[in-house]
């Protein structure tokens, strides 16, 4: 059985605590998100927070898991599955890059990596709640695009993973390693257009 670490208990103010934590973590990240601020945003006492989440990292993990899933689902819901391949891929790349370069996105990745030894199952939760949701949505689109004759793909899962990683080229490591705090529109467009062009050079008809 994978080690899921300590699990938060559920109760009447559980969702209230998560809503407050979400506001603070999205604004200030993990390190800057003080428990006092979370308690104020949630309208509860610190004791109430600790009764549900004895470790601030556990609270962050739950918020991050939910937020990753929400953002992946939102990104896919705003995209039209009938759009032609270049425009769909470009729009998806914009959503992916916006998340991985955001303060929250960087905090999620760093915290999950830092805690992977203590809670080995966190990586799987992060992958399944965010990355896998986005990749599965792209697989659904690519199958439709293939049926329309826009792409020719044998391994749809591999193709979706390849596109996801093409969108991280250059930008992701510079963001994670604090080589750059922000990226210009032209820097992001360079990666987006390169990802779309390379993907369609391999799979486009």
The number of beta carbons lying within 10 Å of the beta carbon of residue 186 is: 7
Assess whether pLDDT exceeds 90 at residue 118. no
Assess whether pLDDT exceeds 80 at residue 68. no
Assess whether pLDDT exceeds 70 at residue 1. no
pLDDT interval class at 7 (50, 70, 90): low
In DSSP terms, 151 is beta-bridged to: 204
Assess whether pLDDT exceeds 90 at residue 35. yes
- d(C-alpha 203, C-alpha 181), whole Å: 34
Q: What is the pLDDT of residue 95?
A: 87
What does the buried/exposed string (b/e) look like for 21-43 if buried means 16 or more CB atoms within 10 Å of the residue's CB?
bbbbbeebbbeebeeebbbebbe
């Amino acid at each position: 059985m994978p080690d899921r670490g300590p699990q938060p208990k559920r109760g009447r103010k559980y969702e209230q605590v998560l809503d407050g934590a979400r506001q603070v973590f999205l604004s200030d990240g993990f390190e800057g998100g003080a428990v006092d601020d979370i308690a104020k945003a949630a309208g509860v006492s610190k004791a109430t927070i600790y009764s549900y989440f004895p470790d601030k990292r556990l609270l962050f993990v739950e918020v991050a898991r939910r937020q990753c899933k929400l953002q992946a689902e939102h990104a896919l819901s705003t995209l039209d599955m009938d759009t032609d391949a270049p425009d769909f891929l470009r729009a998806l790349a914009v959503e992916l890059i916006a998340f991985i370069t955001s303060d929250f996105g960087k905090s999620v990745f760093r915290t999950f990596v830092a805690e992977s030894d203590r809670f080995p199952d966190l990586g799987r939760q992060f992958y399944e709640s965010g990355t896998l949701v986005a990749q599965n949505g792209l697989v659904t689109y690519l199958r439709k695009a293939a049926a329309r004759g826009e792409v020719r793909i044998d391994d749809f899962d591999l193709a979706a993973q390849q596109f996801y990683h093409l969108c991280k080229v250059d930008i992701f490591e510079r963001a994670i390693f604090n080589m750059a705090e922000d990226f210009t529109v032209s820097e992001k467009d360079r990666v987006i257009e390169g990802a779309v062009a390379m993907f369609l050079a391999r799979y486009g008809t």
